[in-house]
Amino acid sequence: MAVPAQLEFFLDPSRCIGCQACLQACTECDTHKGQSMIQLDYLDRAYSTQTAPVVCLHCETPTCAEVCPADAIKRTEDGVVQTARKPRCIACNNCVLACPFGVPKMNTRMNLMMKCDMCYDRTSSGLKPWCASVCPSQALAFGTREEMMRLRPNARPVNAFQFGLQIIRTKVNVMAPRDWPDEVVDVTAAMYEPTIGHDMLDDIFVNIGDEV
Amino acid sequence: MKNSPPASTPTPALELETIRRFGPHVVHERESAGDSGADKLVKTHCCFCGQQCGVQLKVRHNTVIGIEPWYEFPFNRGMLCPKGIKRYLQQAHPDRLLHAWQKDSATPDGFSAVPYEDAVRRLAGEIERIQREHGHDAFGVLSGASLTTEKTYLMGKFAHMCLRTSNIDYNGRLCMVSAAAGNKKAFGIDRAANPWEDILGAEVILVSGANVAECAPITTNYIWQAREQGAKVIVVDPRITPIARTCDLFLPVKPGRDTALFNGILHLMIENDWLDRGFIQAHTAGFEALAESVREWTPGRTAEVTGIAEKSVRQAAEWWGVAKSSFLLHARGLEHHSNGVKNVMSAINIVLASGRIGRPNCGYATITGQANGQGGREHGQKCDQLPGGRDLSNPEHRAHVAAVWGMNAADLPSPGVDAYEIIRKIDKGEIKGLLSICFNPVVSLPDNNFVRQALEKLEFFAVIDFFMSETARYADVVLPGSLQEEDEGTVTQVEGRIIRIKKAVESPGDARSDWKIIQDIAQALGRGQGFTFDSPQSIFEELRAASKGGVADYSGVTYERVEDNFGVFWPCPDEIPEGAPALGPRGTVRLFEPGSWNPVAKGAGPFYFPDGKARFNLTPYVGPAEDVDAEYPIILTTGRVVSQFLSGNQTRRIGPLVDHYPEPRIELHPRLAERLGIADGDWTTVESRRGNCTLRASVVRTIRPDTVFIPYHWAGRKSANQLTISAQDPISKIPEYKVCAVRLRRADSPPEYAELLQPQQ
Amino acid sequence: MLWGVGTTATLAGLIVAGSRNLAHFDAALVAYTFSVLFATFGLTYRYSMWLQRPPTGLYWSRGWQAFLRPRRRFANLRSWLGRMGSDVLANRFIFRRGPSRWLTHMLIMWGCLIAVAITFPLVFGWLYFRPVVGDLSLYEAVIFGFPAFRFPHESATAFFLFHGLVWASFAVIGGVMLAIRRRMRDDGAAALQRFGEDFMPLILLFAVSVTGLMLTVSYTWMAGHAYSFIAILHAITVIGTFLWLPFGKFFHIFQRPAQLGVAFYKDVGRLEEAAHCRRCGHAFSSRMHVEDLILVQRQLGFSYEIPGNTAEHYQWICPPCRRASFAMAQSVLWRGRRGGAALPTQAGLLPMPTPVNNGLGEGPLGEEDAENFHP
């Protein structure tokens, strides 16, 4: 069985509300029960509630698989980069350090790299992955491209990312504004961007702290 | 600033032995022994908040072993929040009460097991004795809005018919009553005016006092979906909650000043003629007087009182004023105030003035808190209420219900008092005995040190619960009740949609369905007439008859119709008068549609008053009951986190949810923290005039610098409600959880509990 | 290819020498011998191909460098023995994946090891037993042409030695049963398993063990009934398994010990300088590992260099900061369209992103992952 070609994953991190439904749902997967493969970080909690939900993007040429000395990471014909094969993985940590999106996790005690495989058990039988099923903000969404274009008329999916000189194409899309002129999201250009949110330091507060 | 706590503030004991025996302990995984297949999937709903997301429970060997999304259920289409995903761990939990318990000072944990029948007999004996010695009203009942509608109906009937006590009330009193009262005063009916699908096409969405991302997470997608189609989102909140982070306009209101904000917006709407004069003329009453009363709410004054920049107030009024379609959502942030009803009415005023209600994409709703927050406040467990949203003080209503129940209307008691007043009456010695179900007042009521002292004065206290809640620890008898997944029934969710709760597993041990326990008590009292139902469905059939003709009319609703249509919206009468538009299979999906018929207006107009017109209500601004002063200079506001639910009796036992946010933290702005010498992670003592509490600090810029926030899900020494004030709204009797005055300082040492208790305890 | 030919020739030479010019070589087992020779060729060939991949080659040489570091050889030898015991012989890391999986693997692994230890020397003629001249109650074991030890006919040693294959078969069958049970009943395993990769090896092992046992049954209780048919069947299964060795799941038997080299590489990394993230400033791995990866990535044709940026190469950014950069890159596309503005932060390095939940299974998975996340 393979993931049906018309079904795609769409990621919109700026919709994320950090509720952790994806993490909790991920731990329900039978292939890694009790452990979440999704990465969810506060970017800078002191300033903002902004969170970054990152699933595996499933690169067309996966850096993780290329740098794997044990040949333990396989990309199936449907474009899903599978988690490390248990008998082969020698826990060298290369994939964890090389993935440009920071996705794989290293299970030290089991000598095993673990990563998101887009819930292959579910997606290969036409179901949505756990995280995109439950995500209350639909920052993680799974469905057809037509459905997504209809539901989000001001956005469009993009699946190429620039890291310095390297361009990486992925199976998973992120949502960009529909009239955005480019085709490649420049990740390294945004490397030093501060978090986005509202600030409480409105002029009205200037003297409020002093009453204390 | 004084650094010593008030000499009189009481502190709860740690109850170490009881906790050791009864928990809360955490469970992280259901043991599956490599066998992860399910015997069956049961389509039901989440047991937690009012959104009631559809979910399938995976069941094997009479145990709930997991969940599977239910993609077809239209409200959430598979989406769930972390609580819903992990709720299955509450079933087959080691803390589960498997038989009845009675207080026993001889055991270290304070309880010993007792046969169920003996416990029921003892409870019945005490009810009989207390009522004989002190009158019917001396025995009170506290109920809850997480019960199915069938159970809430039975609780009302039990109190009013079997016990004949005036004193029954429920924990929705801490939750939705301000919205209910405000809605009844403005619209004549208490229900979300629109289904959530109306949010999608709205041009402007105003979210006031609702931490949507954490307290109603699925609603987030509706709001985002609207944004994708071009909607502007305005959020009013003293904290930059996750939904506020990316909103288009953020109004950081000073807690307790909401009426001022809405009066100010209405002022600008009138000034700029952003009004639907035609609608106001045809369908409302009272606009002129209101317009006059908000003249004083100039933008400058509004900004000064609310703590929101004037330009933001003007921007909000303009966006709201000129919009073609809109949706206003509010929740506890607006309602948990001593002027909560006024806050709600002031928000409704700007909806009515815009004329944007009763049409697609034009709507208004309060976001219900509890699972059955809606259904639980309709059928007679409120102190002044009878089924169908009827009034206990109305002779016609009494006669109708008495006839359905087969009793003499004169034997029905008169209206009683609200939940907090019941506690006060216990303290004063007027109520001697109490039965509590689905309620954990020791955690959830404000100023809970007082609540604790009052409960200790009871001559007899019985609790029905599935876990030994913090309140159950005060009981003389604890009866083992049922979890949501162990019983059939219906609930009415946030949109007013009646949905089916399915039984997935049998109750373990001696535990049994709550409605059976109530009927057993009635039988043991020898007052079993009217308490011989053999199933939740037979209770529902009687409820249909009892609600018929009321505002909350369920007479046309059947279990089959609910299941066939993914829910039915009330009012749903079984007969429609001639000439009135027929109801679809889903009932009344949207309220107040032009030309709609209702049993109050009888065709005179879309609203539920005899003239069919909505009411503008005057909303003069009054500040919070306890404002800051030199001694207590900081505002405390309380609320929730996404991983916990209400008093935490269930969610503090679910390991993955406990890991998510293990212990309460006090959230404060770095400017305040710097002034007080408090760093992120420091133990910090918060004191109010009622109690004190030492928690770790979370120093973040996402809160007003004059306000601190503590989530309230924890018990004992970690309970935020040690600090809160029991001031109540004069109409709805909701307590003022959202504002009180405190002071804080860096703690000299970690609190005693830090070493002795696990985070969730 | 050369390696493959070389090893195969060496093994053939050893067979000739060990069986004393095939004097004690059992001709009936010649098919077995050739299949082993073929498998040896295949395995060596595949192994050397494998080592030619840039990351593998680098790890191979770095692993040996780490192991043979002067002044650490004794300590390394000691930890090699320790790791050999806990990881290779006792499968500790599999125990942590689950006790029943551990039991499964131990049964299959030790069953196969015992069987190989008994049969290979017999097949190659390296080992045979002969009655002791003069004392017919004794047997003598001859290893590689040299008499090794003697033992009585009716002794426990004899019983165990002559029935060693039976015990091994029982272990393997037990293990295969457990493995199949898991693959049939566990939804997670069911989702990912593939016939060729996961069931085929189990079926082969099962067939080898069962046909082997049937041989015993045949000559012990059935007076050799159908013996030759079963023998052919057994030969086919065994030869099939050997031929499968270099290709399928069984290759991990030869690949897996590389894990030991990795451990030494990590030891060295921990002793030496750490790599510091050039976005948040926190240490996240060893400088050696990052530099090696930069090298490997270049060899593989990746170009993560960032000209004109102080970070120089994306490999110098820690994994959490990469996730943050990715999320920010998408967020800034919406600047001015969605609400909120860039928030001021302190000058200098950016704060390190923190996992939202460090509870069981949701934050880093163990110590090393915590270092990947952050120290």
The pLDDT tens digits of the residues spanning C90-109 come to: 888 888 888 888 888 888 88
Structure tokens at B733: 């009797």
Chains that touch B (3 or more CB pairs under 8 A): A, C
CB C118 within 8 A of CB C129: no
Residue identified by tokens 């030759």 is C228
What ipTM was assigned to the predicted interfaces of this complex? 0.94
Q: Rounded CA gap, B348 and B287, in Å?
A: 12
Residue of B nearest to C337 (CA): B248
Q: State the pLDDT confidence band at C191, using cuts at 50, 70 and 90.
A: low
Mean pLDDT of C214-232: 81
Cβ contact, residue pair B670, A152, below 8 Å: no
| Structural domain count of chain A | 1
Residues 63-122 of A with CB under 8 A from C: 63, 66-71, 82, 86-88, 90-94, 96-103, 105-112, 114, 117, 120-122
Q: Rounded CA gap, A24 and A35, in Å?
A: 9
Structure tokens at B118: 């003996």
Query: How near does any CA of chain B get to the CA of C172, in Å?
Result: 20
- List of chain B residues with pLDDT < 70: 1-9, 32-36
Burial of B70 (0-12, 13-18, 19+ CB in 10 A): buried
Q: Is the dihedral of CA B252, B258, B261, B266 positive or negative?
A: positive
Cβ contact, residue pair B82, A138, below 8 Å: no
Residues 223-262 of B with CB under 8 A from C: 227, 233, 245-250
Q: Looking at the structure, tell me whether residues B310 and B218 fall in a common domain.
A: yes
C-alpha to C-alpha distances, A49 to A14, B281, B589, B653, nearest whole angstrom: 11, 45, 36, 26
**Within a domain: residue B288?**
yes
DSSP of B511-525: ---HHHHHHHHHHHT
**Closest Cα partner for A51 from B668, C327, C329, B82?**
C327
Query: How near does any CA of chain C get to the CA of B207, in Å?
Result: 14
Going by their DSSP bridges, the two strands B249-251 and B385-386 should be labelled as unpaired
Q: Which residues contact A181 (CB under 8 A, 6 or more apart)?
A: none
DSSP C338: B
Q: Quote the pLDDT of residue C372.
A: 61
B250 contact residues in C (CB cutoff 8 A):
339
Q: Quote the pLDDT of residue B34.
A: 52
Q: Rounded CA gap, C87 and B454, in Å?
A: 62
**Closest Cα partner for A58 from A73, A69, A40?**
A73
- List of chain A residues with pLDDT < 70: 201-212
Cβ contact, residue pair B85, A135, below 8 Å: no
B143: domain CATH number is: 3.40.50.740
- Could you give the angle at the alpha carbon of B37 between the alpha carbons of B32 and B39, nearest 5°? 110
Q: Quote the pLDDT of residue B271.
A: 97
Q: Quote the pLDDT of residue B177.
A: 94
When scoring A105, A137, A159, A199 by the number of chain C Cβ atoms within 10 A, the one with the most, hence best to mutate, is A105
Element (H, E) at A159: strand A155-163
**Within a domain: residue B464?**
yes
pTM of the model: 0.90
Q: Looking at the structure, tell me whether residues B444 and B532 fall in a common domain.
A: yes
For residue C196, which amino acid is it?
G
**Within a domain: residue A178?**
yes
- Could you give the angle at the alpha carbon of C358 between the alpha carbons of B370 and B682, nearest 5°? 85
User: Of B44, B65, B90, which residue sits at a domain end?
Assistant: B90
Query: How near does any CA of chain A get to the CA of C34, in Å?
Result: 27
**Closest Cα partner for B22 from B146, B119, B108?**
B108
More confident residue, C17 or C78: C78
Cβ contact, residue pair B642, A20, below 8 Å: yes
DSSP C301: T
For residue C13, which amino acid is it?
G
**Within a domain: residue A39?**
yes
DSSP B584: B
Q: Looking at the structure, tell me whether residues B346 and B447 fall in a common domain.
A: no
Q: Looking at the structure, tell me whether residues B317 and B198 fall in a common domain.
A: yes
Q: Which residues contact C372 (CB under 8 A, 6 or more apart)?
A: A93, A96, A97, A105, A106, C284, C285, C318, C319, C364
Q: Which residues contact A44 (CB under 8 A, 6 or more apart)?
A: A50, A194, A195, C343, C345, C350, C351, C353
Q: Looking at the structure, tell me whether residues B349 and B240 fall in a common domain.
A: yes
Q: Looking at the structure, tell me whether residues B69 and B129 fall in a common domain.
A: no
HEC states along C342-358? ECCCCCCCCCCCEECCC
Domain that holds residue A205: 7-211
Residue of B nearest to A45 (CA): B700
Cβ contact, residue pair B34, C182, below 8 Å: yes
Query: How near does any CA of chain C get to the CA of B301, in Å?
Result: 26
Q: Looking at the structure, tell me whether residues B477 and B349 fall in a common domain.
A: no
Q: Quote the pLDDT of residue C365.
A: 67
**Within a domain: residue B487?**
no
**Within a domain: residue A1?**
no
Within an 8 Å CB–CB cutoff, is residue B672 touching chain A?
Answer: yes
Chains that touch A (3 or more CB pairs under 8 A): B, C
Q: Rounded CA gap, C236 and A26, in Å?
A: 45
Q: Where are the domains of chain C?
A: 109-186, 273-333+365-375
Q: Rounded CA gap, B150 and C30, in Å?
A: 81
Q: Quote the pLDDT of residue B35.
A: 58
Q: Quote the pLDDT of residue C73.
A: 79
Q: Rounded CA gap, B245 and A199, in Å?
A: 9
For residue A70, which amino acid is it?
A
Going by their DSSP bridges, the two strands B284-285 and B614-615 should be labelled as parallel
Q: Rounded CA gap, B207 and B251, in Å?
A: 10
**Closest Cα partner for B253 from B265, B236, B231?**
B236
Residue of C nearest to A188 (CA): C325
pLDDT by residue (tens digit) across B71-92?
Answer: 999 999 999 999 999 999 999 9
User: What does chain B come to in residues?
Assistant: 761
Structure tokens at A72: 């333990």
**Closest Cα partner for B554 from B562, B563, B545?**
B545
Phi, psi angles (nearest 5°) of residue A4: -55, 135
Domain that holds residue B203: 193-366
| Structural domain count of chain B | 4
Burial of C347 (0-12, 13-18, 19+ CB in 10 A): exposed
When scoring A107, A114, A202 by the number of chain C Cβ atoms within 10 A, the one with the most, hence best to mutate, is A107
Q: Quote the pLDDT of residue C341.
A: 85
Nearest CB to C359: which of B36, B248, B656?
B656
Q: Quote the pLDDT of residue C362.
A: 59
Q: Rounded CA gap, B80 and B49, in Å?
A: 11
Cβ contact, residue pair B659, C358, below 8 Å: yes
**Helix, strand and coil percent figures for chain B, each rounded to 5:** 35, 20, 50
Mean pLDDT of C43-72: 81
A129: domain CATH number is: 3.30.70.20
Q: Looking at the structure, tell me whether residues B85 and B104 fall in a common domain.
A: no
Cβ contact, residue pair B670, A46, below 8 Å: yes
For residue C167, which amino acid is it?
W
Cβ contact, residue pair C341, A97, below 8 Å: no
**Within a domain: residue A2?**
no
When scoring B200, B232, B235, B702 by the number of chain A Cβ atoms within 10 A, the one with the most, hence best to mutate, is B702
Q: Looking at the structure, tell me whether residues B121 and B169 fall in a common domain.
A: yes
**Within a domain: residue B608?**
no
Q: Looking at the structure, tell me whether residues B219 and B147 fall in a common domain.
A: no
Q: Looking at the structure, tell me whether residues B288 and B349 fall in a common domain.
A: yes
Q: Quote the pLDDT of residue B4.
A: 47
